[in-house]
Amino acid sequence: MSDTVGTDGDIPVGGGAERGATAEGRSEQSSERYTFEDLSVVMGTYNEAEAIGTVLSDIETVTDGKAEVVCVDSSSDRTPEIAREHGARVIEQEPQGYGVAVREAILAPDRPVVVTTDCDDTYPMEQLPEFLELINEGYDVVSGDRLYHGAEAMPAFNRLGNHLFALVASVMMGTRVHDTTTGMRAYRQEVLESIEWTENTGLSAELLIRPLMRGYEVREHPIDYRERAGESKLDPIEGGYAIAKSIVTVCLDERLR
Ligand SMILES: Nc1nc2c(ncn2[C@@H]2O[C@H](COP(=O)(O)OP(=O)(O)OP(=O)(O)O)[C@@H](O)[C@H]2O)c(=O)[nH]1
Ligand SMILES: [Mg+2]
């Protein structure tokens, strides 16, 4: 397994490409600095009326109303109305699972930097400036690591599962990663557009593994993690199995390409 280097908990996990080197499908880094006007925050939303107001207000406050917000929504409650009241772009979709919604969400924006989050108030929108800064430093993907600070708010079973997923993915990739299923990441839009995404429940892991194994510059960044508002849409056993299967499938697929 190749070494990883920690700096204040920030862990570059790039799959071997030198910083500044050109990964497959990646354009040369420009000196342009992105601002919140270049940022889209995207999410799948499925009956999140309890949380969405807080999540969207936080994004508005932190980015001074400059970030675009895209919600791919499958709700039967007031979630889409609340989203529109907050100025979000709402794309309606039949409920088909996390990855189907998030894939549509990540490909919707025209802006050069895309951040994903869950709409359940677990992720710290106040850390958005740190994610943008790391993209400006040249990273292609910045992945929020919930486990670094212990993730006390996460159910113990999920926490154990997430440690195991990270271990399996690390062994299969030959690069140490710490949180493969986090919902909060920033991506350069061209990375999202240059890769074909195949997974549903396991999309979050796929969104980390494929860029990393193709030599993009990937960095894990410690984040705070709060208790969920509203009901989980993930069954821990069924979902856990699907995620484990995605990790193995995607790692083998990348090795064989
Ligand atoms: N549009 C849409 N969104 C979905 C679907 N399934 C999940 N989501 C959304 O995707 C995000 C992630 O789902 P969560 O229930 O938070 O899953 P999780 O984070 O693995 O589980 P928790 O740890 O309990 O939060 C949430 O914002 C959900 O509303 C779906 O079928 N359609
Ligand atoms: Mg969640």
87 lies in some domain: yes
Kindly state the percentage of the chain with pLDDT values over 90: 88
Q: Is residue 23 very low, low, confident or very high in pLDDT (cuts 50, 70, 90)? A: low
96 lies in some domain: yes
Single pTM value for the model? 0.92
Determine contact, residues 11/178, Cβ cutoff 8 Å. yes
Determine contact, residues 250/67, Cβ cutoff 8 Å. no
Angle separating helix axes 236-256 and 203-213, nearest 10 degrees: 20
Q: CA Rg, the chain, in Å?
A: 17
> Which residues form the domain of 242?
36-256
Q: Is residue 7 very low, low, confident or very high in pLDDT (cuts 50, 70, 90)? A: very low
Q: Is 49 in the pocket of ligand 1 (CB under 6 A)?
A: no
Q: Look over the chain and give the mean of its residue pLDDT values, rounded to a whole number.
A: 92
Question: Residue 66 pairs with which residues in a beta bridge?
Answer: none
Query: Ligand 1 atom 20: the closest Cα is on which residue?
Result: 234
Work out how many domains the chain is built from and give that number.
1
173 lies in some domain: yes
198 lies in some domain: yes
Distance 130 CA to ligand 2 centre (A): 21
- Residue of 61, 64, 43 whose CA lies nearest to 52: 43
Q: Is 98 in the pocket of ligand 1 (CB under 6 A)?
A: yes
Q: In this structure, what are the phi and psi dihedrals at residue 113, rounded to the nearest 5 degrees?
A: -125, 130
122 lies in some domain: yes
Residue 145 half-sphere exposure, CB side, CA atoms within 13 Å? 24
- pLDDT tens for 101-153 read 999 999 999 999 999 999 999 999 999 999 999 999 999 999 999 999 999 99
Determine contact, residues 73/79, Cβ cutoff 8 Å. yes
CATH number of the domain encompassing residue 162: 3.90.550.10
